[in-house]
Amino acid sequence: MRRIISPVTLALVGVILFGDGAYIHAKAWLAQVLLERAFTKSIASGQPTKPWSWADTWPVARIEVKRIGASAIVLAGSSGQALAFGPGHVEQTADAGERGVAVYAAHRDTHFRFLQDVVVGDEIELTRSDGKRFHYRADASAVVRFDASGIDPNTQGYELVLSTCWPFDALTSGPDRYILHATLIGTGS
């Protein structure tokens, strides 16, 4: 009996740890499903719709990269809590389609994992919650420090930046960020 206890305890610890990690993924996935619904509703109603009643954020846009079949619903704000559910629109940056630079950030191991497959030249489609669509073309990527992103918020162009942690397969978080820069090439569907 004694001998069984320690492996079982150890196994339990393992399961809890694994489950904790898996929970993050499950949450990220489930939230996107709910967000997709809320986003469709927002487009239809023209009102910001909360994905679930106690949410402190709401969907603002959909990012799609058709070539690799990736898509994600972006939330307002980039607090740690919002980022658990989806990519966040970094506060105080321009809205998509507006003059200036729109910055979206998401976790490298969930919603923005697909960024590693996006290459310069790919087309990124953005749908705003008012239903307007914007097409961007990726034109540069870079690895920068979080506090020295080099993104010019006062730019006169129509730009888009997607940001996530770098390197993609690291286990711990660090100060480096991978940024993908894109410029508006057209509007409408």
Burial 81-111 (b: 16+ CB within 10 A, else e): ebbbbbbbbbeebbebbeebbbbbbbbbbbb
Tell me, by CB under 8 A, how many residues bind another protein. 63
- The DSSP letter of residue 23 is H
Map residues 135-174 to x or -, x wherever contact with another protein holds by CB under 8 A.
---------x-xxxxxxxxx--------xxx----xxxxx
Residue (12 or 44) nearer to another protein, CB: 12
Question: Shortest Cβ distance from residue 56 to another protein (Å)?
Answer: 9
- Residues 29-37: contacts with CB within 8 Å, 24+ apart? 29/110, 31/84, 31/85, 31/86, 32/72, 32/73, 32/85, 32/86, 32/111, 35/59, 35/73, 35/75, 35/85, 35/86, 36/73
125 binds another protein (CB under 8 A): no
Closest approach of another protein to the CB of residue 65, in Å: 17
Among 20, 53, 121, 189, indicate the residue that binds another protein (CB under 8 A).
20
Interface with another protein includes 83 (CB under 8 A)?
yes
Question: How many Å apart are CA 65 and CA 23, to the nearest integer?
Answer: 26
Q: List contacts with another protein (CB under 8 A).
A: 1, 3-4, 6-11, 13-22, 24-25, 78-80, 83-84, 88, 90-94, 100-101, 103, 105-110, 112, 144, 146-154, 163-165, 170-175, 177, 179
